[in-house]
Amino acid sequence: MGRLARLLRRRRPGLVSLGTTFAVSFAAVTAAVTVVVGILSYSAAARLVRVDQQSVFDEVVQDLRDEVRQHRMSPEDFSSSAPGHDLVRPARTDVQVLGADGSVVDPGSPGLPVRQADRIVARASAAGELTEHKDVDVGSDVYRVATVALGGGRGAVQVAQEFSDTEDLLQALQQRTLILMAAVVVGAGLFGWWLARRITRRLVVLTAAAEDVARTRRLGVQVPVTGYDEVGRLGRAFDRMLGRLAQSEEDQRRLVQDAGHELRTPLTSLRTNISLLRRIDEFPPETREELVADLGQEARELTDLVNELVELAAGQSDTEPPQRVDLADIAEDVAGVARRRTGREILVRASGVTSTDGRPGMLTRAVSNLVENAVKFDREGRGPVEIRVAGPARAGVVRVEVLDRGPGIGDEDLVRVFDRFYRAADARSLPGSGLGLSIVREVALAHGGAPFAVRREGGGMVMGFSVGGGV
């Protein structure tokens, strides 16, 4: 928890938030795409317009050359008042007629400049001879001009196409493209900002919850969870994590309280007997023997209690990785150890599929505790202790049962037999701390199962646990 708090406090002033980063990144990507698409679109459109205008002009010039080659024509035939002049004067085309000496016979509108190359073409003997001029300034406009000879030195016809109006059109298109690109970038930035706020709003809530936990150290904080996307999954995972941490903290607190309560009794008895050691010379030999025996017994009980507390605490925070285990094999191993320790007959019966996912160390400890409990209470040894492993009773569930022929447990004790430190009235004279069965319960719950205890027909108990496959 302290590390989490340090990480949260490590945020430096001026650090750009995730929402701002997302919005800027979204706008930047959109701007780049828009600029590239805009440039490519404008270039393609400008090229198409220029090529189209050039092809129209070339077609007009070629029609004029074909006309003068097929027919003997004079400058008067191309006068603006002559019939049929529309053939060589389409829209947006300016026509000017030159005489044999290169002088202007019929001026265009506007008038076109006449250069030396045009005069030479006007005196040409071959009809259709051509000279072209690009980027010709006529007033404030720019034209492309083609001069076609009539042949026989009779003059020439100048055909001009305005070039500047096309460029003005393309310039207007360029300006509109830039305005549209700017609008798209601004719109993308605003949309990215809105989208970033919508996405990161739940992250901000989760961050506030984490900061609140780090500041107050209260794990019982309710984390607001909405949605089913990655952020929603993160919120639910964070809520479950806090819940488990809170449960772990509560378990530790109860364990410490219960352990402190249970340790007081043997420690008080041990302290009393130790105080009597100062007067051991005053006691008869029989009393001395009893005192030493009591001290040894109390030391063993205290050692057993501490060991079981350590086992219980280790079981709650076991980091052993889950793996595929066979509970029948575990039961055989536990039975072999119990036979060597107690000399009792331990039988193992397995049926069905007894493999499951679990932590072998924890499961071994649970089965061992059940067997030790059965041996301890079945002191007369009227029959063998049986370990039965059966599965699956239902999908994925394996049951482990330990059967004995001991005195059994009363109805009032059955509901509490798996509680920590609980011992039935007739068992308090026996060695033990009351933690063995509680460890069984912890192991069963950690594996998605539950413990159970029922009286056995004919005397004795059936105690065990189920494993549901959840670890």
| Nearest-10 crossing angle of helices 285-316, 360-377 | 150
Can you give the pLDDT at residue 13? 46
Range list of β-strands (E), 201-341: 323-326
298: amino acid identity, one letter = E
How far is 458 from 214, CA to CA, in rounded Å?
57
Cβ-Cβ contacts under 8 Å for 138 (sequence gap 6 or more): 110, 111, 112, 113, 160
Can you give the pLDDT at residue 427? 47
Q: How crowded is residue 77: how many other Cβ atoms within 10 Å of its Cβ?
A: 19
DSSP assigned state of 161: E
Q: What is the pLDDT of residues 109-118, one digit of tens each?
A: 888 888 898 8
Q: What is the pLDDT of residues 37-52, one digit of tens each?
A: 878 887 887 777 777 7
Cβ-Cβ contacts under 8 Å for 92 (sequence gap 6 or more): 161, 162, 165
Mean per-residue pLDDT, 90-98: 75
Residue 260's SS3 state is helix
Q: What is the pLDDT of residues 410-458, one digit of tens each?
A: 777 777 787 766 655 454 444 445 677 888 888 898 888 999 999 888 8
Can you give the pLDDT at residue 304? 66
Residue 46's SS3 state is helix
Backbone angles phi, psi at 276, to 5 degrees: -75, -20
Range list of β-strands (E), 235-337: 323-326
> Greater confidence, 130 or 12?
130
Omega before residue 384 within 30° of 0, cis? no
Cβ-Cβ contacts under 8 Å for 133 (sequence gap 6 or more): 115, 117, 144, 145, 146, 147
Can you give the pLDDT at residue 8? 40
> Greater confidence, 219 or 285?
285
How far is 396 from 470, CA to CA, in rounded Å?
9
Asked if the model's pLDDT at residue 5 lies above 70, the reply is no
Mean pLDDT is lowest, of 60-64, 191-195, 215-219, 383-387, for: 215-219
Asked if the model's pLDDT at residue 4 lies above 60, the reply is no
Can you give the pLDDT at residue 428? 44
The domain at 18-167 falls in which architecture? 2-Layer Sandwich (3.30)
Of the candidates 176, 177, 187, the one whose C-alpha atom is nearest the C-alpha of residue 35 is: 177
Can you give the pLDDT at residue 40? 83
With beta carbons less than 8 A apart as the criterion, state whether 50 and 108 touch. Answer: no
With beta carbons less than 8 A apart as the criterion, state whether 104 and 98 touch. Answer: yes
283: amino acid identity, one letter = F
All structural domains of the chain with their residue ranges: 18-167, 218-318, 319-465
Asked if the model's pLDDT at residue 156 lies above 50, the reply is yes
Q: What is the pTM of this model?
A: 0.44
The domain at 218-318 falls in which architecture? Orthogonal Bundle (1.10)
Q: How crowded is residue 289: how many other Cβ atoms within 10 Å of its Cβ?
A: 11
How far is 77 from 68, CA to CA, in rounded Å?
10
With beta carbons less than 8 A apart as the criterion, state whether 160 and 89 touch. Answer: no
Can you give the pLDDT at residue 261? 59
pLDDT tier for residue 367 given thresholds of 50, 70 and 90 = very high
Class of the CATH-defined domain 319-465:
alpha beta
pLDDT tier for residue 330 given thresholds of 50, 70 and 90 = very high
Cβ-Cβ contacts under 8 Å for 405 (sequence gap 6 or more): 378, 380, 382, 383, 456, 458, 459, 460
Largest CA distance in the chain: 161
How far is 313 from 300, CA to CA, in rounded Å?
20
